[in-house]
Amino acid sequence: MRRSGDEAFRIACEWATAHEFVRVRRPFAHSPLRPFSLLRVSPARVPASPRPSSPRPRVSASLLLIACLVVSPSYAQTQSPTQAALTFYRELKSKQYVEGFRHSVYRKAVEGLTAEELKELEPDFARTFSQIPDKIEAAGEKITGDAAVVSLKFSGTDEMQSVAMIRAGGEWLVGDRETLDAVNHQGRSFFFNSRMLVNEGEAYEMLQQIMGAEFLYAKKFDGKSAPLDELIKRGGVPADLADGAESGYKFDLTLRDDRSAFYVTATPSVYGKTGRISLYADINGIRGEDLKGRPAGPQSPVYRPKQ
């Protein structure tokens, strides 16, 4: 089957991103403390629902009012690990985020948030927790002291899901002790700090993708660099970047007059809320530092993603 030039370019960019020239790193994928861990992959590895094919799905724009329900202490203390895990997932699935998080180590991250702050976080919650299936069945639990593992069966997958639980304050909570300590330390700032770290990681990955697309474009067109719209047209970078903004960052791709070189900056859209680190990339790599919202440059130190 003969492919069009643009299709071949897109496939080549995907290959380059996946291999040695630009290796996309997922800095939060394996750490129990990775930012927004529940919003990216739940403790039970919630199976994702099928989505339309898109390089970078946009965050839901819906802003639903979050009902702040209160659980009486006597009710919470009588719940078994299985009951607490099921309540956690069912409340999140029904968009009762405050109530759901009360059954997890993230409780103090939502307690005390204003209605405006909850509304700001809601699209992130909605994007991920909508993937929780409607049907969840309990399949057993194992308790060892103040820790437990609950086995759940999610509809849509044959694989049993194991949910880590800990007992704190007489209640069983979804999550682990290390994350609980981090949440207790950061309090209501936890989700906002976590979101910034996730955004910074995604901005770093986007710069890697742009660099890979420019590298392949230069190989095909006698060392020339391409403007952003050309890279998008050829499928080298996602169309979501057409307006220059993605994942809480503003991207600006600049070419030398003769198009023999390029550099690209990624700056937080709202410093202190969507990110703190400013990033700069050219053919030599990616640099970055906290510049209070000002663009980074070639003089910035080499950027190392947080693990």
Residue with tokens 């403790």: 43
Q: What is the mean pLDDT of the chain?
A: 80
Q: What is the CATH number of the domain that holds 64?
A: 3.10.450.50
114, 170: one domain: yes
Q: What single string gives the DSSP state of each residue in 84-148?
A: HHHHHHHHHHTT-HHHHHTTBTTHHHHTT--HHHHHHHHHHHHHHHTTS-S-EEEEEEEEETTEE
Predicted confidence (pLDDT) per residue in 7-29, tens digit? 555 555 554 444 433 333 333 33
Kindly state whether residue 139 falls inside one of the protein's structural domains: yes
Q: What is the pLDDT of residue 10?
A: 57
pTM exceeding the 0.85 threshold for the entire prediction: no
Q: What angle do CA 122, 305, 26 make, to 5 degrees?
A: 65
Confidence (pLDDT) at 5 = 57
Question: Is the domain of 144 the same as that of 198?
Answer: no
What is the pLDDT at residue 306?
Answer: 79
**Domains contained in the chain, number:** 2
Domain range for 15: 5-26+194-290
Low-confidence ranges of the chain (pLDDT < 50): 2, 15-77
What tokens does 230 get?
């050309």
- pLDDT tens across 96-129, in order? 999 999 999 999 999 889 999 999 899 888 888 8
Q: Do residues 123 and 169 both lie within one domain?
A: yes
- Specify the pLDDT at position 167: 96
